[in-house]
Structure 1
Amino acid sequence: MGTSGWRYPSWRGDFYPAGLRQRDELAYLARELNGVELNGSFYSLQRPSSYTSWAEQVPDDFVFAVKGGRFITHMRRLAEAQPALANFFASGVLALGAKLGPVLWQLPASLPFDEQLLGDFFALLPRTTEAAGELATLHDAKLTEERSLTTPLVSAPIRHALEPRHDSFNSLEARDLLQRNDIAMVISDSAGTWPTFDVVTADLVYVRLHGDTELYRSGYSPAALDHWAARARGWADEGLDVHVYFDNDARGHAPHDARALLGLLRQGQEHPR
């Protein structure tokens, strides 16, 4: 249970206590929640030293979901993605060790369902840290030795979630493809901005809450939080691994909503992420 990112000026003096040092914000968040989406990795390749630092600031049971690079999803549009994937996994993702959670692939709204394209992309995705390390060894010269990490710190599975934003993904063909490849279809709540694909396609359930009534800007009412708590409990009761991240950060609602939802779930003895 967490937020999409943690470094927002509007949270300072609100969610974060006044006077809290910026470098202590992640550690503070990790005392209140049990997961976060790393979204800086969407905009650019990060450094192994950054991933190492983030992992060191949080408890052992904290999880980082890592957002795949937009160069892969929005610029390459998933085509011929192996070189960019090698760079992405070599950039330090493996430095998270046991705290590495799902990898999120957010697609542009202009990208329709293409079974061949998606199938080829899914075939390239590493499903273990060892496979990610092998892929990372193929990185190009953009990543120097000090800016790359190809040796996994732990042996663990890597799971993937896909957030499409095109209506054509509302099909049996799309659902079946994700199920066959054990990819979670993101359940996205965006105040009607993008379609919601409310299906479970893997043993991972990945929910992104972008705003209850206004994209990025509105908070979630107590009734809405009760609704999502009930859904998360239901998925957890089915033995599914549930991750929920709030992305309604424009007015600072995300961390408060995440903390409230986590509190509701803990009352029911459930602990989805």
Structure 2
Amino acid sequence: MNRILVGVCGWGDHDLYPPGTPSRDKLAIYAGHFPVVELDSTYHAIAPPERMERWVHETPDSFRFVVKAYRELTGHGRLERAPVRSWQEIVHDMKTSLQPMKRSGKLSMVLFQFPPWYDCSARHVRYIRKVREAFRDFPVAIEFRNQSWFTPHYQEKTLHFLEQEQLIHVVCDEPQAGQGSVPIVPAVTHPDTVLVRFHGRNVDGWNNTGRPDWRDVRYAYRYSEEELDEWVPRIRELQKKANQIILLFNNNSQGDAVDSAKMMIRKLGLNFEGLAPRQLEIL
């Protein structure tokens, strides 16, 4: 087992593919560069199990997926054309979708990323417990985007809560831009896995200022060598407490995620086993 896995968020829009590569061929090529990917299309719509099965078959045995939970499960609301379903129906559909990856052993975790307004409150704690119970048979990761969870008064309580519920803490590297951002908290709450997501440090673009391209602007950031150097000792410390560390780069609205991920691979001296054979020479 590769104890540290490095990848990026999504596989469709990166500068990895020859011009004209069909979308259907991109995952297999991606799996020659990286051993893990965040599947983020499932945030917008729950994928049919048949599609998940196809993605399982298109990747090597050692490849892993971090699957983002559907938006209605994390308080982001229903898209206009999305089907109207009860919470129980959504949970059922999400779990059914995940089964092919779970059976194959390729599901690292289901990522529940809560919105910036999702503060540290008794009501929200109860809801996370409800999620944990509903997805009891799955590894579940929790990403907070509201600073209140990590104030001096609540940080230890937050981490203890995640540990008690056997939830994976998502460590974030992101701009420090007020209440809707969280500090770097390199803590492990589940002995199996810890997830680190690199969102970039675009302070000016992080919060919604009403720009139509805001979501692209917020993730426009190129990490420097020095910024990634800061992470090497943190990752070494995390290694002592978790069996596996997954590092995912989300700073991709200007195509920087792949370069940042490969820079991190070099800094950590990683040499992945089990990549797709045709692309082994890339690394």
TM-score by length of 1: 0.77
Unmatched segments (≥5 aa) in structure 2: 1-5, 79-85, 204-217, 274-283
1:196 lines up with 2:171 in the alignment: no
- Alignment correspondent of 1:30: 31
Q: Which of 219, 225, 235 is the matching residue for 2:222?
A: 219
How far apart in 1 are the matches of 2:41 and 2:173? 21
SS of aligned partner of 2:269: helix
* Gap change, CA 1:84 and 1:208, over 3 Å in 2: same
- Alignment correspondent of 2:135: 126
- Alignment correspondent of 1:208: 197
* Identity, % of aligned positions: 26
- Alignment correspondent of 1:181: 165
- Alignment correspondent of 1:132: none
1:196-241 Cα deviation digits (max 9, x unpaired): 2503222221111011345311111112222223322321233442
Moved segments of 4+, more than 4 Å:
none
Q: CA deviation at 1:187?
A: 1.1
Q: Which of 102, 105, 111 is the matching residue for 1:98?
A: 105
Amino acid at match of 2:189: T
- Alignment correspondent of 1:51: 52
- Alignment correspondent of 1:159: 139
- Alignment correspondent of 2:120: 113
Q: Which of 169, 185, 204 is the matching residue for 2:149?
A: 169
Q: CA deviation at 1:46?
A: 0.9
Kindly indicate whether the alpha-carbon contact (under 8 Å) linking 1:161 and 1:183 is maintained by their aligned counterparts in 2: yes
How far apart in 1 are the matches of 2:196 and 2:47? 24
How far apart in 2 are the matches of 1:173 and 1:270? 36
1:232 lines up with 2:205 in the alignment: no
Kindly indicate whether the alpha-carbon contact (under 8 Å) linking 1:217 and 1:251 is maintained by their aligned counterparts in 2: yes
* Gap change, CA 1:17 and 1:164, over 3 Å in 2: same
* Gap change, CA 1:123 and 1:24, over 3 Å in 2: closer
Kindly indicate whether the alpha-carbon contact (under 8 Å) linking 1:225 and 1:261 is maintained by their aligned counterparts in 2: yes
Q: CA deviation at 1:263?
A: 3.0
Q: CA deviation at 1:76?
A: 6.2
Kindly indicate whether the alpha-carbon contact (under 8 Å) linking 1:122 and 1:181 is maintained by their aligned counterparts in 2: no
- Note the aligned Cα RMSD (angstroms): 2.4
Kindly indicate whether the alpha-carbon contact (under 8 Å) linking 1:160 and 1:184 is maintained by their aligned counterparts in 2: yes
1:250 lines up with 2:253 in the alignment: yes
User: Would you say how many aligned residue pairs link Structure 1 and Structure 2?
Assistant: 234
How far apart in 2 are the matches of 1:211 and 1:177? 27
* Gap change, CA 1:126 and 1:51, over 3 Å in 2: same
- Alignment correspondent of 1:138: none
Unmatched segments (≥5 aa) in structure 1: 129-157
Amino acid at match of 1:2: G
How far apart in 2 are the matches of 1:229 and 1:31? 24
Kindly indicate whether the alpha-carbon contact (under 8 Å) linking 1:219 and 1:253 is maintained by their aligned counterparts in 2: yes
Q: CA deviation at 1:23?
A: 1.8
* Gap change, CA 1:127 and 1:259, over 3 Å in 2: farther
Q: Higher mean Cα deviation, 108-117 or 42-51?
A: 108-117
Q: Which of 73, 76, 92 is the matching residue for 1:86?
A: 92
- Alignment correspondent of 1:2: 7
Kindly indicate whether the alpha-carbon contact (under 8 Å) linking 1:233 and 1:270 is maintained by their aligned counterparts in 2: no
Amino acid at match of 1:113: C
How far apart in 2 are the matches of 1:125 and 1:64? 20
Which one scores higher on RCO, CA 8 angstroms, separation ≥ 6?
2
